[in-house]
Structure 1
Amino acid sequence: MIAIVLAAGEGTRIRPLSESVPKPMLPVADRPLVSHTVDAAVDAGATELVLVVGYEAEAVRDYFGGEYRGVPVSYAVQEEQLGTAHAVNAASEHIDGPFAVLNGDNLYDPDAIAALFASCPAICAIEVDDPRQYGVLSADSAGETVTGIVEKPDDPPTNLANAGAYAFPEEAAAWLEVPASERGEYEITDVVARVIDDHDVTPVTLRRWLDVGRPWELLEANEWKLGALDRRIDGDVSEDAHLNGDVVVEAGATVKPGVVIEGPALIRSGATVGPNAYVRGATLVGEGAKIGHAAEVKNSVLSAGASVSHLSYVGDSVLGRDVNFGAGTNVANLRHDDADIRFTVKGERVSTGRRKFGVVAGDEAKTGINTSLTPGLKLSGGATTLPGETVDRDR
């Protein structure tokens, strides 16, 4: 099975994290987001990987190279974002046999991807309570064959939402040049409709799935994958540190005296924690990141090179590369009225669906000492604050 992984998205909804890092390369536990998708394809038996790339494609190429876990890797370039069928069509020259299409910014239940490959032609779905905001699968009376996909129906035929993973017969490659939609995009669901006309298409239900499109979903992705870690201590950990639960300290990382870490947590190579710091919840401390004396970091992502200086608190937040939070910086992650915290996505304030959510800081953002940051705040890449400032508006 040829696995085509779509990794060309610009990631506008997840900004500022994607301002200088392609969304598929954002960190999820010990590897980039797209690598989890690729690993699921390899584990399912993919014989060839084709990555469709675009913006800053060199980062993806540098990571995967020409071979990944013994499976050859090829690349196709999508220069314009004109829909999923357009993206897959960019890889058409590599198709020589049945092929699967996976979104590189989705996390999939790996067992279901194996079932998807084995059931070709097939489509993955996830059961949802309210499917009206999704593309919804319709099926025959036995629920064994997909009969169509209905976009955002008022009266959904099932509770199975399209999860964006497909296995196609080889002849579907000739159907990728579909007519444009009203939005001017070329949709893979039109190819699915053609396959349904000629084949029995099997629905494969995922046990777990996540579309990582917005910053809090990157936090949720890390909660998922960090929660799957097994304890491993390879780095330099003080005898006076206390590591509880599933904590991974990679070789080259340092945990100083007085530190308390409550897993799941991952301390990556070159990172330093402490002394007397407190790390808890599902927390990723990226390569070369630093947590200072008596700082507390809870349920957060610190990207490579990020620094949380002494006497600071960071909770339920995502910090980009080389962010520096000055001493005494405090992040608020809870509204006084306990309402869901809202965040700005493409110029609109939307609910995160989370009771606790702190700050999203783009690469190289910096705070002055004793800065206070309110819940649901966005700091763009390179943004700064003044010492002692309270920030309650995005900047």
Structure 2
Amino acid sequence: MEAIVLAGGLGTRLRSVVNNVPKPMAPIGNKPFLDYIFFYLKKNNIKKVILAVGYKNEIIKHRYGNKYLGIDIEYSIEEEQLGTGGAINQAFKFIDEKESFIINGDTFFYVDLNEMYQFHIKNNADLTIAVKPMKNFERYGKVIDNNNKIEKFTEKEKSKKGNINGGIYILNKEYINSLDLPKVFSFEKDIMEKNVNKDNFIAYKSDTYFIDIGIPEDYNKAQKELEQKI
């Protein structure tokens, strides 16, 4: 199996605690956050990773090179900011298989990737999204589904409970290649929200450990928790 890891984040909301490195390279203990993602991918038998990089990508390339933990690595480099969609679309040029996992480089979600993949195939999905059940949250929008078929994405608001987008996807290469896409676009707005009612988007629910290091509060929480989760 192959995975695209979105590692081009600027980390603007983390600048008060992390400076001068791409967000996925923010240190957790004595290791970059991206190390934990690689440990997780190795456990899940991912053989090849495409790192979609931009901001200060030389820091990432210097640490991981062309192989890390036995995982082959290639780099999809943004010469300009392409948005999440543009970064994914460009990275797919390096994908050899019919589909690929896509992993956000600033979240850690302990999903069983093999089980998620089987679920994706069983449902003949164009896109499968790993969703996390949550209670009492406001940082995230909700993924609304009917028997796992996604019907709607809601905006961020205070919610007592719901399923959030956990930042892990399986996307079919044939599907994304069939779309007429600009060079710069948002994956969330221009693919997920735009096509949810006409294409086969499936929610894979996993109530496993999840953390998003995008804000200082959760970044500090990761310092205390993440080492124990690997």
Confirm or deny a common fold (TM above 0.5).
yes
Structure 1 115/149 Cα, relative in aligned 2: closer, same or farther at 3 Å?
A: farther
2:166 aligns with 163
Partners of 1:14 and 1:62 in 2: CA distance: 22
User: Is residue 131–residue 160 contact of structure 1 (8 Å, CA) maintained in 2?
Assistant: no
User: Is residue 3–residue 103 contact of structure 2 (8 Å, CA) maintained in 1?
Assistant: yes
Residues 215-238 of structure 1, C-alpha deviations (whole Å, 9 max, x = no match): 332221111123458xxxxxxxxx
Q: Which runs of 5+ in 1 are unaligned?
A: 230-395
Deviation (angstroms), 1:90: 2.4
Q: Tell me how many residue pairs correspond in the alignment.
A: 222
The letter of the residue matching 1:88 is I
Larger Rg: 1
Partners of 2:37 and 2:159 in 1: CA distance: 32
Structure 1 131/214 Cα, relative in aligned 2: closer, same or farther at 3 Å?
A: closer
1:123 aligns with 129
Deviation (angstroms), 1:200: 5.5
User: Is residue 131–residue 203 contact of structure 2 (8 Å, CA) maintained in 1?
Assistant: no
The letter of the residue matching 2:55 is Y
What is the TM-score when the length of structure 1 is the normalising length? 0.50
Partners of 2:158 and 2:217 in 1: CA distance: 28
SS of residue paired to 1:9: coil
Structure 1 145/72 Cα, relative in aligned 2: closer, same or farther at 3 Å?
A: same
Deviation (angstroms), 1:8: 0.5
Deviation (angstroms), 1:131: 5.2
User: Is residue 5–residue 38 contact of structure 1 (8 Å, CA) maintained in 2?
Assistant: no
2:140 aligns with 134
User: Is residue 38–residue 69 contact of structure 2 (8 Å, CA) maintained in 1?
Assistant: no
1:99 aligns with 100
Deviation (angstroms), 1:87: 1.6
1:24 aligns with 24
1:68 aligns with 68
Structure 1 204/47 Cα, relative in aligned 2: closer, same or farther at 3 Å?
A: farther
Partners of 1:217 and 1:154 in 2: CA distance: 18
SS of residue paired to 1:93: helix
- Matching residue within 152, 163, 174 for 1:148: 152
| Larger RCO (CA under 8 A, 6+ residues apart) | 2
What is the TM-score when the length of structure 2 is the normalising length? 0.82
Residues 257-308 of structure 1, C-alpha deviations (whole Å, 9 max, x = no match): xxxxxxxxxxxxxxxxxxxxxxxxxxxxxxxxxxxxxxxxxxxxxxxxxxxx
The letter of the residue matching 1:207 is T
Residues 22-59 of structure 1, C-alpha deviations (whole Å, 9 max, x = no match): 22112223521012123222322223100011111111
CA RMSD of aligned residues (A): 2.8
The letter of the residue matching 2:107 is N
SS of residue paired to 1:188: helix
SS of residue paired to 1:91: helix
